[in-house]
Structure 1
Amino acid sequence: MDYEAKKRFLCQYVEGKGEIAALKNDLEFWRGVGESTSAGSGSIGNHSGGSKVESAAVHIAQIERQIDVDIKTCEETRENVRNALERFKTGKYKTILCDLYIDGKSRIQIANDRGMTIRAVNAMIHRAIDMIDI
């Protein structure tokens, strides 16, 4: 596996977490639409309000199903990434990859946590990705 393929493999988990967070934001939006429409419609027979509530309910159901699928996929991906990192022989490289690709820390956070420059962190990440056996 080349460098770019390894990097894409490692990025999957953090990206999956981001997708789940975005879906949760969408879910909250549609719940708010449903609640405000049903509360403001006044009567159940209101066609306009009813269709908005129905539309919100459909969106909510779709998003909830997608979140369930994404969570299962994300858990599997996390396990695959963790397994790859567990096979890593050097602790400092393993830790920096865990910080980046499991914990989702930024390179700036990693540099600050370790008292390193971003340039040094970037070089270390690059070497670690080259060295990892996936």
Structure 2
Amino acid sequence: MRAAAVTTLVAGLAVLTALTAAGPAPRAQASTRPAAAPAAGRCSTGQLCLWDRADYGGTRRVFELSGTPVEECVPLPHGGVAQALANRTGRHVTAYQSEECAETGEFDTYPGGGSWVPQSPYQVRAFKVWER
């Protein structure tokens, strides 16, 4: 082998050894929070939260099971509407386009424990909490 080739080989091995000794590059930490969840504390465990604007904006209404009838239609107060919601209760919640919970309009059921909906496909005017 020629001297120049040996020098290049030795230099390459030195760089490879230095990179290997440094260990693998650090990885970004994955978030355990749902991607669609708003800022921490915006809807606590055990609550159903409804916002009047998409992306959890505007006025937030909070409902807890202790003050909400189960398996009954609950229209939003004062003819209000919601465009985003979070179900942090332990029960399924159905959101209705109709303020009478009529199934002739749009409706969707969200599982309890952590359903985050940043933009409902319709204006939510009422909801129903289901028995387990």
TM-score (norm 1): 0.24
Whose strand proportion is higher, 1 or 2? 2
Q: Which has the higher contact order (CA 8 A, sep 6+)?
A: 1
Q: Per residue, is there more helix in 1 or in 2?
A: 1
Query: TM-score w.r.t. structure 2 length?
Result: 0.25
